[in-house]
Amino acid sequence: MQPSIRRTLTVVIPAVLLVSATGLTAAQNSTRQEPVRQVTQATVRLPERPVTNEVELEVVATLPIRPSAVVRTQDGRIIWTEHFGAPNPNKVHELLPDGTLRDYPAGAKYESHSLRLDSKGVLWMLDMGGNGRLPKLVGWNTNTETLVKEISISPPAYEPNSALQDFVIDEKNNQAIIADTGGGFEPQRFNPALVVVDLNSGQARRILQGHRTVQAEPLNTIIEGKPLMLTIDKQGTQIPSRWGVNGIALDPVQEWLYYAPMTSTSVYRIATQDLANANLSASELGSRVQRYGDRNIGDGLMVDTAGNVYNTDLQYNAIGVTNDQGNYRLIRRDDKLLNFSEGFEPAVDGYVYVATNQAHRSVFFQPVDSGVPPYYLLRFRPLAPAR
């Protein structure tokens, strides 16, 4: 039996600071040669940031199951995926108008943690694989309800201990870029990197592995006043949870890819045309990465037309923004609604959609699940258009 979910829509008058911008600013387009900040010891708690509360949150749906990603289709349907710790074999669902769920696509079994919707209405799902299955990128046309493409991610782009997380679809260069976060524990066995997939040929390349900008900093992630820990053996041994590249986003004109390790206080960018150039050596590609600015430890990223890079700030249950000068601030804080939020997805209705799941309370990080439903699908209007 499919679970019934009470769908609640809250109508609010957004108090949004709108920034009029038709493209990237001159400061954003300039080449930045700022040094990468070196962190030498674990930080107990990142410094307080100003909270401006420039955006209003709206509850799209309340859920009894942890979500990890959500998109709104061009015709207004809500598609979301469960957090990877959930037991269901199919992680992708459509939220129907009466509040019930159905597997999406109908009859499919995709264990996807992340979702993206392209300009043609194709829903891209990253099936994480496992149990002998390779991960695969799946494109499904939400307008015609037909399969567009399935691309398996094979070695050497995919490694035995890979953890493919968030991704983007670069339609300008017809490529997908995937964050392989690695890390977490036993770092000698994990190698964070980006994976570039040619959507024409299906060929995948592993890039920036070993580059400092994809690696976790030696920081403790403090959530609800406690460090986020991982249990690494049957004896209950725990170590600080530190993860490599995770958040990943394209600017609206798909000129730049922005990314950040989950455990990091910096956000970086690199030109998408450089990522598409398979002839660049590892050192040449690494030299073209730019540090964009400050951030707090977070999960998902998004970029608007004014060069604001949005961050799901995990420490402060907030949405943070790095502006085009590299300065970071919190534009909304809510300890209830933003309690461990994940990736952003802008939609054609002008809103940005985001899922919140209390993942730090799951058995992935502690012996007993202490999550308190409901979990949330939210939306807000960004400071400037994000599409």
Mean per-residue pLDDT of the chain: 84
Can you tell me the distance from the alpha carbon of 296 to that of 315, in angstroms, rounded to the nearest whole number? 8
Q: What pLDDT, on the 0 to 100 scale, is given for residue 15?
A: 27
Residue 297 pLDDT more than 70? Answer: yes
The answer to whether the beta carbons of residues 213 and 232 sit under 8 Å apart is no
Q: What pLDDT, on the 0 to 100 scale, is given for residue 108?
A: 81
DSSP per-residue string spanning 303-360: E-TT--EEEEETTTTEEEEE-TTS-EEEEEE-TTTTTTEEEEEE-TTS-EEEEE--GG
The count of C-alpha atoms lying within 13 angstroms of the C-alpha of 40, restricted to the half-sphere facing its C-beta, is: 0
- What's the pTM? 0.86
Residue 217 pLDDT more than 60? Answer: yes
Any long-range contacts for 325-330 (C-beta under 8 Å, 24+ apart)? 325/27, 325/293, 326/32, 326/34, 326/291, 326/292, 326/293, 326/294, 327/293, 327/294, 328/49, 328/293, 328/294, 328/295, 328/296, 329/49, 329/50, 329/51, 329/52, 330/49, 330/50, 330/51, 330/52
Q: What pLDDT, on the 0 to 100 scale, is given for residue 266?
A: 98
pLDDT band of residue 50 (cuts 50, 70, 90) is confident
Residue 295 pLDDT more than 80? Answer: yes
Tokens of 139: 């494109």
Residue 248 pLDDT more than 90? Answer: yes
The answer to whether the beta carbons of residues 195 and 156 sit under 8 Å apart is no
Q: What pLDDT, on the 0 to 100 scale, is given for residue 299?
A: 93
The answer to whether the beta carbons of residues 332 and 319 sit under 8 Å apart is yes
The mean pLDDT value for 73-78 works out to 96
The mean pLDDT value for 302-329 works out to 97
Environment class of residue 236 by beta-carbon count within 10 Å: exposed (0-12), middle (13-18) or buried (19+)?
Answer: exposed
Environment class of residue 167 by beta-carbon count within 10 Å: exposed (0-12), middle (13-18) or buried (19+)?
Answer: buried
Query: Looking at per-residue confidence, does 109 or 280 come out higher?
Result: 280
Query: Looking at per-residue confidence, does 325 or 41 come out higher?
Result: 325
Q: What pLDDT, on the 0 to 100 scale, is given for residue 190?
A: 67
The mean pLDDT value for 359-385 works out to 87
Give the model confidence (pLDDT) of 85-99 as tens digits. Answer: 655 656 899 999 998
pLDDT band of residue 77 (cuts 50, 70, 90) is very high
Can you tell me the distance from the alpha carbon of 28 to that of 15, in angstroms, rounded to the nearest whole number? 26
Query: Looking at per-residue confidence, does 229 or 178 come out higher?
Result: 178
Can you tell me the distance from the alpha carbon of 125 to that of 112, in angstroms, rounded to the nearest whole number? 6
Give the model confidence (pLDDT) of 331-359 as tens digits. Answer: 999 999 999 898 899 999 999 999 998 88
User: In percent, how much of the chain has pLDDT > 70?
Assistant: 83
Q: Where are the domains of the chain?
A: 26-380
Considering the domain 26-380, what is its CATH architecture?
Answer: 6 Propeller (2.120)
Which of these ranges, 228-232, 244-248, 307-311, 335-339, has the smallest mean pLDDT?
228-232
Q: What pLDDT, on the 0 to 100 scale, is given for residue 322?
A: 98
Which of these ranges, 118-127, 307-316, 351-360, 374-383, has the smallest mean pLDDT?
351-360
Q: What pLDDT, on the 0 to 100 scale, is given for residue 198?
A: 98
User: In percent, how much of the chain has pLDDT > 90?
Assistant: 61
Residue for token digits 């609604």?
337
Query: Looking at per-residue confidence, does 256 or 358 come out higher?
Result: 256
The mean pLDDT value for 113-117 works out to 93
The answer to whether the beta carbons of residues 301 and 322 sit under 8 Å apart is no
